[in-house]
Structure 1
Amino acid sequence: MSQSFSKYINVNGRLLDLSYPQVMGILNVTPDSFYARCRAETEIAITNRARQILEEGASIIDIGAYSSRPNAEHISAEEELNRLRPALKILNKNHPDAIISVDTFRADVAEVCVKEYGVAIINDIAGGEMDKKMFDTVANLQVPYIMMHMQGTPQDMQLTPHYNNILKDTFLYFAEKVQKLRDNGLNDIILDPGFGFGKTLDHNYELLSHLEEFSIFELPLLVGVSRKSMITKLLGITSDEALNGTTILNTIALEKGADILRVHDVKEAVQVVKIVEKCRNK
């Protein structure tokens, strides 16, 4: 799918070209993220995981210190930063040129990460809903902002997800927030439909089936379906068995306009991008 709008974002003074889909590798410095193989809490584990992400071909490392799986334990901003600081120091030391994204919904955490550790992108699962200072903060920082759609919070989002119309409701959510961010002077905005966040199985697949319609916003689109319950529940498998399903959904997402794939399995996602792009350019 080709679009005429700009697909470049400014990351620490460099332009990242999203006209060729990019892969974002997940590095969780948490003890309870749903997929254990991408958790890294020790210096050795963080070092090894970061190296793996980059060597397998990802252009972005997305580091998270707050588990957002359903019913996850809520931790303080202090605890989140206590987990992030040593990990970011390791990344800056070993991979000073790497593009780092921090997965946080807290404005104060975002500010520390950008100002003290040179983080290039803020990835907010709450779209500013869990911290009203977030929009002003990212606008002041002038960093690309990934805005995800979520109904509720990680603690309650899967209790009773309900929409009048999942597509219209999500579009209205983004339209309002994109306008606020633009009014604040932020240009680099990336949309994430939030698969698995306050959505039933049917909601997730309805969003995916209409993914190409998000092009109306003329903004880059991030898709994160890696090993999620929309795969495991449908197929009756565990997250450890969900690589094949992830690859299938990533392929569909690319065909429908995804610009960034956020994944646990970088090598396989990079292969998907190469194959889809080869077919697209024939």
Structure 2
Amino acid sequence: MADELTAAGVLRLGRREFGPGQFAVMAIVNRTPDSFYDRGATFATDKAYDAIAQAVDDGADLVDIGGVKAGYGEPVSETEELRRTVDFVAGIRARHPDLVISVDTYRSGVARRVGEAGADLINDTWAGADPEMAAAAAATGAGLVCSHVGGLTPRTDPHRMAYDDVVADVIRTTTALAEQAVAAGVRRDAIVIDPTHDFGKNTLQSLELTRRLDELVATGWPVLVAVSNKDFIGETLDLPPGQRGSGTLAALSVSAWLGARVFRVHDVPAARQALDLIAVLRGAKQPAGTRRSLA
């Protein structure tokens, strides 16, 4: 296991470095009134700043700011998305100079503006639907998340998606986007690939990705998993979003054991504890204390 850990590279985002075996927790803070999970709990600016501060206290390494609901919903113009994100990113940067700030957007115009405001990472969950996305990230020095959606356009739901091998398709797409990003000027050590569970995938396909995540890790690119409270967990356990916490932790733990590096979550304290234990079990971290039966 130790040799496996040392083979992984260092991920550099903003002022932070995440070395081999380190797990980075990314807290979700949505600036939307219609999030599937929190239904707008952090849409108001003061509530959003409070959520950021709490996430940092709870052990988050990154925050991911979203100005548009990922799935189908009311149209949101680029102007409105900018209104929800740019000044807020600048405010976070002023309040938390060392915090890694990620912004979830599929628009290169938004990516460029939030990068100028202080964002360290662009979380492009729609797999380069905007062909200028990598160039926008490179222009501001931001990193980039390269994802897989099976060819869907932004904010559309999957319907009868079929792959000869979903894992092979994810690897082919995300690594190609990563290499294109490098060619566009994004730093290689600031690029993350994301299998993008549920986006362009049914529940069986998302489960297959989870159990075979080590194949994505083997590409050498740091892997991000965003499984928190997602529908594939809900369908598997027959539970609504508010009751998927235990299933989320199970999926996170499996993903961490198989080598994922970044974890996008709603419940930061639970994720931090689970990932810290996995890091110890993998030999990348020492226990906080080992006094039992030794004194």
Counterpart position of 1:79: 80
Once the two structures are TM-superposed, the CA of residue 37 in structure 1 deviates from its matched residue by: 6.4
1:85-114 C-alpha deviation (Å, 9 max, x unpaired): 342243133223321111111111111111
Written as runs of structure 1 = structure 2, the 5 A alignment for 1:98-177 is 98-115=99-116, 117-128=117-128, 130-151=129-150, 152-177=152-177
Contact 1:224-1:263 within 8 A present in 2 as well: yes
- What is the identity, as a one-letter code, of the residue corresponding to 1:140? A
Point out the more displaced range, 182-191 or 10-19.
10-19
Distance in 2 of aligned mates of 1:213 and 1:261 = 17
Counterpart position of 1:214: 216
Cα distance change of structure 1 residues 8 and 153 upon mapping to structure 2, 3 Å threshold: same
Cα distance change of structure 1 residues 86 and 140 upon mapping to structure 2, 3 Å threshold: closer
- Of 272, 288, 295, the match for 1:270: 272
Contact 1:27-1:39 within 8 A present in 2 as well: no
The count of residues paired between Structure 1 and Structure 2 equals 279
Distance in 1 of aligned mates of 2:16 and 2:224 = 19
Once the two structures are TM-superposed, the CA of residue 157 in structure 1 deviates from its matched residue by: 3.0
What 5-or-longer segments of structure 2 have no aligned partner? 287-295
Contact 1:104-1:125 within 8 A present in 2 as well: yes
Counterpart position of 1:47: 49
- Aligned sequence identity (%): 29
Distance in 2 of aligned mates of 1:172 and 1:92 = 35
- Of 190, 193, 198, the match for 1:191: 193
Point out the more displaced range, 175-184 or 190-199.
175-184
* Backbone CA RMSD of aligned residues: 1.9
Contact 2:27-2:62 within 8 A present in 1 as well: yes
TM-score normalised over the length of structure 1: 0.92
1:171-227 C-alpha deviation (Å, 9 max, x unpaired): 221232222223233312100000010100100011111100112321111001000
What 5-or-longer segments of structure 1 have no aligned partner? none
- What is the identity, as a one-letter code, of the residue corresponding to 2:127? G
Point out the more displaced range, 91-100 or 255-264.
91-100
- What is the identity, as a one-letter code, of the residue corresponding to 1:176? A
Counterpart position of 1:93: 94
Once the two structures are TM-superposed, the CA of residue 132 in structure 1 deviates from its matched residue by: 0.8
Contact 1:190-1:219 within 8 A present in 2 as well: yes
Counterpart position of 1:253: 255
Cα distance change of structure 1 residues 190 and 43 upon mapping to structure 2, 3 Å threshold: same
- What is the identity, as a one-letter code, of the residue corresponding to 1:44? D
Counterpart position of 1:231: 233
Contact 2:60-2:268 within 8 A present in 1 as well: yes
